[in-house]
Amino acid sequence: MDASIRPKGILDFLSQQEIRQLTDPENGGLNELFRRCSLAVLNSDSRTDSGKEMLENYPDFSIKVVQQTRSIKLELRNAPSQAFVDGKLIQGINEHLFSVLRDIVYVGTEIRKKGGYNLSDSAAITDFIYHILRNTGLLREQVDPNLVVCWGGHSISEDEYQYTKKVGYQLGLRELNICTGCGAGAMKGPMKGATIAHAKQRYINGRYIGITEPGIIASESPNPIVNNLIVMPDMEKRLEAFVRTGHGFVVFPGAVGTTEEILYLIGILMHPNNKDQPFPLIFTGPVESRAYFDRIDGFICTTLGDDARKYYEIIINDPELVARRIHSGIKHVREFRRKSGDAFYYNWMLHIDHGHQRPFFPSHEAMSSLNLHYEQPKHKLAENLRKMFSGIVSGNIKDEVIISIEKYGPFEISGDPKIMRELDDLLLSFCEQKRMKLSSDSEYKPCYKIV
């Protein structure tokens, strides 16, 4: 379908230079990035998580920014019809499109073109992320520690999905807000549950925050409950945005993407500089998910040692207990931040190594060169394992990586035999449980080979 739409309170105007960068391939290169992200937003009800497949399904889609006297408008051509009702674009999708535009413009022009950020410096990266989040309005509203980050997969069972809603409901009854990766499944369920609880409590400031990045938005298109969509420049900055802004963390069942998030957070918490940080972290699911979490727990202990268990708690089939523990944990976070003088809205004191911040592009050489051996600090092994899982995520869903695998074959992953055996068992269990991919192709073809 075709449409012309205008922003409502998100982005009112752009400069001529910014518009040129969004329309002229020779003047900044933002036009194709904006087109891809916009198509993912419009394609939110799709059953594919492949960016390559999405682009192939809509080869004639285009979106153009038009400057008007007092504002701007977007002209859409050949857009997915499911984004419209009676010929009009759904309002939530309208807002998400302008959120995408806001963040791409800000990162592409205000900072990268004008700012003096040295992105090879760890502190500068943290500051860079702060400025992106501040520009979205997120930090201005975060006056009290009440944001719960929920991680988990989009390809989960119906029982698991219903459980995520129950946990979200219990969190919402305690007037806690929800932040997820913004997609379906375990990212949508907690938000959906919280909306009902917020309504019961007459809590009118409910916040349902979705944080994504251009390479993954096709597989995790923003669900309609998200009322604050944020597009970070890459996966590493997305992950840091989660841990800097969240006050409590709940992990539901997922696959390689969820495992990447778990390893990212545990690797940070295991760093000696963070030993005093209160950080409530709970793994939870219904009784059907017990075997899944047993497998995750076994993998963590085999690779990172039994000491890693002290950073998380596993709670099975008890949404109310999950919410009580998170609520109690956030009280400790509030007290710690107050005593240390750190901000409630951004965890400046959390130490994150540059290796966790530097974007990892999973080339075949980079994947085969990862240090997956025990002879290194545990937090460094967690960092390298995180990169390995990130590479598999990219091989599953990111079109440029999928094309590379089609050309050169699957990634080869090697390391300590004990780690490789545990990794092989974990990935095999994800495949058997059909957690690895949600697409029109029902059979998952691995993008990796354990050597």
Domains and CATH numbers, the chain: 3-115 (3.30.1850.10), 131-451 (3.40.50.450)
Query: Which of 163, 313, 308 lies closest to 248, judged by CA?
Result: 313
Helix intervals (H) in 189-255 = 189-200, 235-245
How confident is the model at residue 28, as a pLDDT? 56
Query: Which of 230, 222, 147 lies closest to 187, judged by CA?
Result: 222
Q: How far is CA 335 from the centre of its chain?
A: 28
* 3-state secondary structure (DSSP) of residue 74: strand
Residue 296 scores a pLDDT above 60: yes
Residue 437 scores a pLDDT above 70: no
Answer whether 372's CB lies under 8 Å from 385's CB: yes
Share of the chain above pLDDT 90, in %: 69
Give the Cα separation of 256 and 31 in Å (integer).
30
Residue 25 scores a pLDDT above 70: no
- Mean pLDDT computed over 329-344: 94
- Mean pLDDT computed over 101-109: 86
The confidence band for 220, taking pLDDT boundaries of 50, 70 and 90, is confident
How confident is the model at residue 52, as a pLDDT? 66
- Mean pLDDT computed over 430-443: 71
The confidence band for 315, taking pLDDT boundaries of 50, 70 and 90, is very high
Q: What is the pLDDT of residues 202-215, one digit of tens each?
A: 999 899 999 999 98
| Residue with the larger pLDDT of the pair 105 and 385 | 385
- Mean pLDDT computed over 143-164: 94
Q: What is the pLDDT of residues 229-285, one digit of tens each?
A: 999 999 999 999 999 999 999 999 999 999 999 999 999 999 999 988 999 999 999
Token readout for 165 is 């809603």
How confident is the model at residue 337, as a pLDDT? 94
Other CB atoms within 10 Å distance of the CB of residue 42: 28
Name the burial class of residue 353, with classes exposed (0-12), middle (13-18) and buried (19+) by CB atoms within 10 angstroms of its CB: middle
How confident is the model at residue 29, as a pLDDT? 65
How confident is the model at residue 441, as a pLDDT? 52
Q: Which of 16-30, 128-142, 234-248 has the lowest average pLDDT?
A: 16-30
The per-residue pLDDT of the chain, averaged, comes to 90
Write down the residue that tokens 């701007």 correspond to. 72
Answer whether 437's CB lies under 8 Å from 53's CB: no
How confident is the model at residue 431, as a pLDDT? 87
Q: Which of 68-82, 117-131, 320-334 has the lowest average pLDDT?
A: 68-82
Residue 146 scores a pLDDT above 80: yes
Kind of pairing between the strands at 411-413 and 248-251: unpaired
Share of the chain above pLDDT 70, in %: 91
| Residue with the larger pLDDT of the pair 125 and 66 | 125
Residue 340 scores a pLDDT above 90: yes
How confident is the model at residue 69, as a pLDDT? 66
The confidence band for 13, taking pLDDT boundaries of 50, 70 and 90, is low
Token readout for 225 is 């409950």
**Cα 418–Cα 419–Cα 422 angle in degrees, nearest 5:** 90
